[in-house]
């Protein structure tokens, strides 16, 4: 992907200050230059290892430091993961994302992770994972297994980051993105709106992403899901127009990237989601309910697609991305203990 001239903070700030309708118009024009405006990429996420994470991300119910009622802490068996992937494909998803709540994968985990990637890919689904910090060797091994995308979010601006996370540095996140890129895996990286950040912080996040040597192929923009027990449980709600504005600026700054409506979408009205699509969002996470809905035609997401005249994108043309760890909390599969091996030792 060719990279344009670097963005400056003054340029990004000017975008955020534009009248909203002018901004939406520019974003939609940019979107139509690079994408079919009626196509939306659809992904399904599975939490393959949930809870007991040693990190202190203040938004995340998976952190072992907060009492959120989340107890699961084991890596799923490969066949369990593949069974979920089959169900997702049968229900219309084209990308299967696998997320693990830990700081980084251990050597003992790698063979299982590689088998998951190989098995999902063999079904004709695109694969993505979010596993935390990677070494160069781990990135290469995942690439060799056929991993298409790796998600590792920057979350917020470098300046605000320390208010949210202290157990992993911003540079560590950037280094992991470099390792993933160098291994030949496509990059998915975005952030969260609603952490208590300022508009300047939102601009700073998008500046970091857009000015990477190669911008991420996909950029998930999450709205904070406030979970009881986490330090951010009582944060103020994000104004819908502020969220839509962030989507639009991301589209303008990264015109060839997929911009993803991610965590928090279930709390958004149909009207807000529609304006996000107008602002250039063209990828969604298709909830875990997809795995259990007997009649997908009546699914509320497909109903919204019909109302707006949107079409789920087919696997031959979509690029897609991953979902933020925050969303994993609601997606634990209730499986027998025999279907897991213990990965609680960090």
Catalytic residue among 188, 202, 245, 251: 188
Query: What tokens were used for 217?
Result: 């192929």
CA 302 – CA 13 distance, rounded (Å): 35
CB 22 within 8 A of CB 30: no
Catalytic, 260? Answer yes
Report CA dihedral (70, 227, 106, 286) to the nearest 10 degrees.
Answer: 100
53 belongs to an annotated ligand binding site: yes
Catalytic residue among 260, 265, 276, 288: 260
288 belongs to an annotated ligand binding site: no
245 belongs to an annotated ligand binding site: no
276 belongs to an annotated ligand binding site: no
Q: Please choose, from the candidates 239, 240, 261, the residue with its C-alpha nearest in 3D space to the C-alpha of residue 250.
A: 261
Catalytic residue among 128, 181, 202, 276: 128
* Other C-beta atoms lying within 10 Å of the C-beta of residue 320: 27
3-state secondary structure the chain: CCCCCCCCHHHHHHHHCCCHHHHHHHHHHHHHHHCCCCEEEEEEEEEEECCCECCCCCCCCCECCCCCCCCCCEEECHHHHHHHHHHHHHCCCCEEEEEECCCCCCHHHHHHHHHHHHHHHHCCCEEEEECCCCCHHHHHHHHHHCCCEEECCCECCHHHHCCCCCCCCHHHHHHHHHHHHHCCCEEECCEEECCCCCHHHHHHHHHHHHCCCCCCCEEEEEECCCCCCCCCCCCCCCCHHHHHHHHHHHHHHCCCCEEEECCCHHHCCHHHHHHHHHCCCCEEECCHHHHCCCCHHHCHHHHHHHHHCCEECCCCCCCCCCCCHHHHHHCCCCCCHHHEEECCCC
Catalytic residue among 74, 95, 97, 265: 97
Catalytic, 288? Answer no
97 belongs to an annotated ligand binding site: yes
Q: Please choose, from the candidates 261, 242, 174, the residue with its C-alpha nearest in 3D space to the C-alpha of residue 17.
A: 242
Catalytic, 276? Answer no
Catalytic sites, residue numbers: 53, 57, 60, 97, 128, 188, 260
Which residues does the annotation place in the binding site?
53, 57, 60, 97, 128, 188, 260
Which residues does the annotation place in the binding site for [4Fe-4S] cluster?
53, 57, 60
Which residues does the annotation place in the binding site for [2Fe-2S] cluster?
97, 128, 188, 260
């Amino acid at each position: 992907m060719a990279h344009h001239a670097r963005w400056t903070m003054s340029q990004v700030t000017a975008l955020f200050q534009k009248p909203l309708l002018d901004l939406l118009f520019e974003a939609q024009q940019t979107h139509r230059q690079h994408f079919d405006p009626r196509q939306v990429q659809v992904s399904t996420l599975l939490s393959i290892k949930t809870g007991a994470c040693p990190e202190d991300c203040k938004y995340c119910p998976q952190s072992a430091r907060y009492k959120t009622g989340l107890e699961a802490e084991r890596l799923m068996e490969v066949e369990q993961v593949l069974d979920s992937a089959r169900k997702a494909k049968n229900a219309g998803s084209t990308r299967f994302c696998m997320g693990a709540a830990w700081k980084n994968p251990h050597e003992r985990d790698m063979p299982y992770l590689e088998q998951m990637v190989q098995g999902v890919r063999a079904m004709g689904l695109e694969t993505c994972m979010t596993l935390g910090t990677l070494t160069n060797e781990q990135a290469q091994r995942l690439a060799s297994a056929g991993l298409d995308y790796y998600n590792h979010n920057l979350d917020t601006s470098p300046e605000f980051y320390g208010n949210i996370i202290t157990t992993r540095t911003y540079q560590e996140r950037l280094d992991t993105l470099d390792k993933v890129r160098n291994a030949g895996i496509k990059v998915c990286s975005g952030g969260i709106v609603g952490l208590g950040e300022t508009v300047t912080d939102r601009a700073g996040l998008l500046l970091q992403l857009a000015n990477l040597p190669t911008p991420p192929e996909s950029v998930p923009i999450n709205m904070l899901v406030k979970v009881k027990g986490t330090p951010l449980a009582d944060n103020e709600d994000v104004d819908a127009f502020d969220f839509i504005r962030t989507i639009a600026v991301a589209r303008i700054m990264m015109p060839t990237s997929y911009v993803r409506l991610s965590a928090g979408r279930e709390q958004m009205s149909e009207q807000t989601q529609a304006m996000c699509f107008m602002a250039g969002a063209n990828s969604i996470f298709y909830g875990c309910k997809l795995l259990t809905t007997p009649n997908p035609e009546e699914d509320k997401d497909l109903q919204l697609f019909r109302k707006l005249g949107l079409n789920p994108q087919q696997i031959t043309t979509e690029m897609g991305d991953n979902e933020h760890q925050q969303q994993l909390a609601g997606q634990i599969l209730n499986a027998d203990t025999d279907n897991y091996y213990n990965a609680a030792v960090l």
